[in-house]
Amino acid sequence: MKTEKVLSIVFIISLIFKLMHWPGAGVLMVLSLTFLALCYFPFGFYFFSDKNFKNQKIGISILFGWLLSIAIIGIEFKLMFWPGSQVMLLVGCMSAAVLLLASFSLLKKSDEDLKNYHKNLFTRTVVIFVLAMICLILPNSVLINHYYSTQPELKELYLRQQENPQDESIQKEIEEYKAKQYERETGNRNNQ
């Protein structure tokens, strides 16, 4: 589907933006992954079908869309450093692994009418499972060290926050640091 391809391309662009430290990466990533998950969850029957809605199993499409959207949201949480990403990714990976086995068996057993439908399910499941597994295996510290490499103070604050997610004082320190950084940037612009 065109919508799915566009959202996937926007996600790849946002990932490049995030790796290059360009502004707008977070907004693009949140929008693309959230809308992709929303497309899969309630509208899985539409996105997984072939051009003909009769050549699909609606219940399977809705189930696949629902479970794959959990993995997509887990990927989003991980890449945005939001709390709860590990749980979401774990549930998403386990459900994607079950779906991978199910879609493979459906692909092997399918007749000619449903062959393309099951192939599409299998392909999407493989891609989302691999991305979710990479995010699950990759420690948050690696992402934080790369993303905040130019801001060592903020990097240390985020690493401390990852070690103690319940400590609200670290979150306040991060907010204070960002406020000071914003004041410095706006002060420099006003002085020019």
Cβ neighbors of 32 (< 8 A, separation 6 or more) are 7, 8, 10, 11, 14
pLDDT tens readout for residues 28-44: 999 999 999 988 887 76
Question: Does residue 72 carry a pLDDT above 90?
Answer: yes
Average pLDDT on 181-190 reads 78
Q: Report whether 49 contacts 56 (CB < 8 A).
A: yes
CB-based burial of residue 97 (10 Å sphere; 0-12 exposed, 13-18 middle, 19+ buried)? middle
Average pLDDT on 106-123 reads 79
pLDDT tens readout for residues 77-109: 999 888 888 899 999 999 989 988 988 888 888
Report the 10 Å Cβ neighbour count for 137.
Answer: 9
The pTM score is 0.82
For the ranges 18-22, 40-44, 48-52, 148-152, the lowest mean pLDDT is seen at: 48-52
pLDDT computed for residue 164 by the predictor: 84
pLDDT tens readout for residues 154-165: 899 988 988 887
Q: At 190, is the pLDDT very low, low, confident or very high (cuts 50, 70, 90)?
A: low
pLDDT computed for residue 176 by the predictor: 92
- How many residues belong to the chain? 192
Q: At 50, is the pLDDT very low, low, confident or very high (cuts 50, 70, 90)?
A: low
Question: Does residue 52 carry a pLDDT above 80?
Answer: no
Q: Report whether 92 contacts 71 (CB < 8 A).
A: yes
CA distances to 40, 60, 95 from 113, in Å = 22, 16, 26
- Residue position matching structure tokens 């990976």: 93
